[in-house]
Chain A
Amino acid sequence: MAANVLVIIPALNEQDSLPGTIERLRAQGFQNILVVDDGSGDQTAEQALRHHVNLLRMPFNTGIGGAVSLGLSYASRRKFQAVLRVDADGQHDESYAHSVLRPVLEGKVQLCVGSRFLAPLEQETYRSSVCRRIGIRFFSYLITALTGQRITDPTSGFNAFGPRAIALFSQSYPEDYPEPETIVTAIRSGLGFCEVPVAMRPRQSGNSSIRYLRTLYYMVNVTLAIMLNYLRPVKHVPSEDRGRE
């Protein structure tokens, strides 16, 4: 199943948690693993090379959107059938990786998101802070109202992309806090989107970048990005463009 699947791990200063994430992905049968080091100041890149995975090293920090976009460009060039995006901080439980990939590999949708808030796992998963849950709920309502499709976890980075989504997002991927806007773009482009239940763990090291005043910036930024997305023309990816960059 994992033969033509590329796992992208965007990483910024994750030298402590990255080896564990790679090992757990290998244990799930994933051989094509790509670490995108987004300008880390620690030994993240060296850890990736030590664990014999593919490495793309940004000369400076470009943000999560830049790192994921680069990984998708790599997948597009190498004609991967699907991409799984997993965070390097160990929050995503790799045992659900195949569940997230399945709808994409079966060709049902082009973007599948692992959701913490879907039954039957919503009680088992790690619960983030109240403030964060309020933000997630707000974006859920906003995107559901705009797209007409029910979304429960729009900020989840545990995503699987199909070939048409790879072709689209390798060309243009949202820069700052990209997850909610990616879902909106995928739905508007008719790529097909679904969520599957996943459990998540607390991050194993480091701190989230969305704290203090950045929370306010995040809320305003993402809300505006979602609204402005509707003022842009819909991006269509013909099915014959599969995997082309």
Chain B
Amino acid sequence: MSARLFSFMILMGIAGLILELVRREKLTFRYAFGWLAAVLGGILIVAADQMVFRLASWLGFRLLSNFIFFCCMGMAVVLGLLLTVLLCRQDQRNHLMAKKIALLEESLRTVMRQQKGQNDDS
């Protein structure tokens, strides 16, 4: 089996796994998009390997494998950073919700106290 075919099969397997997670609603398309874009990038590298060779030597990499490893690491860092941004946004939303809940709970307690007072009066 050639390395290109093996890489292509692995990438298709990853794409299939991502789509299956989306189908099972374990992952939404919005968050799967980054991973699917990464897989697409991988497929393009496999399809146009001569171009990747030239690009790697132009950037000063002696071995193509080093260049690909560098690209994978870079991609992992970018995806990790994007996920951290999403996590922070989620955290901010959670905090906002917690504050709203606390304020609503206090309002409810006040209303119930007033209601109880009115009932006691009558």
A interface residues (Cβ-Cβ under 8 A, vs B)? 36, 54-60, 62, 66, 69-70, 73-74, 77, 175
Contact = CB atoms under 8 A, between A and B. Distances in A.
Contacts of A69: 99
B106 A58 contact: no
A57 B109 CA distance: 11
B105 A57 contact: yes
B106 A54 contact: yes
Contacts of A77: 103
CB-based closest 5 A-B pairs: A56-B102, A70-B99, A62-B95, A58-B98, A59-B98
Contacts of B82: none
A222 B94 CA distance: 23
B106 A66 contact: no
Contacts of A59: 98, 101-102
A58 B94 CA distance: 11
A66 B101 contact: no
Interface in B69-110: 94-95, 98-99, 101-103, 105-106, 109
Contact of A55 (B94, B98, B106): B106
B99 A66 contact: yes
B98 A66 contact: yes
A59 B101 CA distance: 8
Given A56-B103, A62-B95, 20 more contacts: A36-B102, A55-B109, A56-B106, A57-B102, A57-B105, A58-B101, A59-B98, A59-B101, A60-B94, A60-B98, A66-B95, A66-B99, A69-B99, A70-B99, A70-B102, A73-B99, A73-B103, A74-B106, A77-B103, A175-B95
Contacts of A54: 106
B64 to A, nearest CB: 39
29 contacts: A36-B102, A54-B106, A55-B109, A56-B102, A56-B103, A56-B105, A56-B106, A57-B102, A57-B105, A57-B106, A58-B98, A58-B99, A58-B101, A59-B98, A59-B101, A60-B94, A60-B98, A62-B95, A62-B98, A62-B99, A66-B95, A69-B99, A70-B99, A70-B103, A73-B99, A73-B103, A74-B103, A77-B103, A175-B95
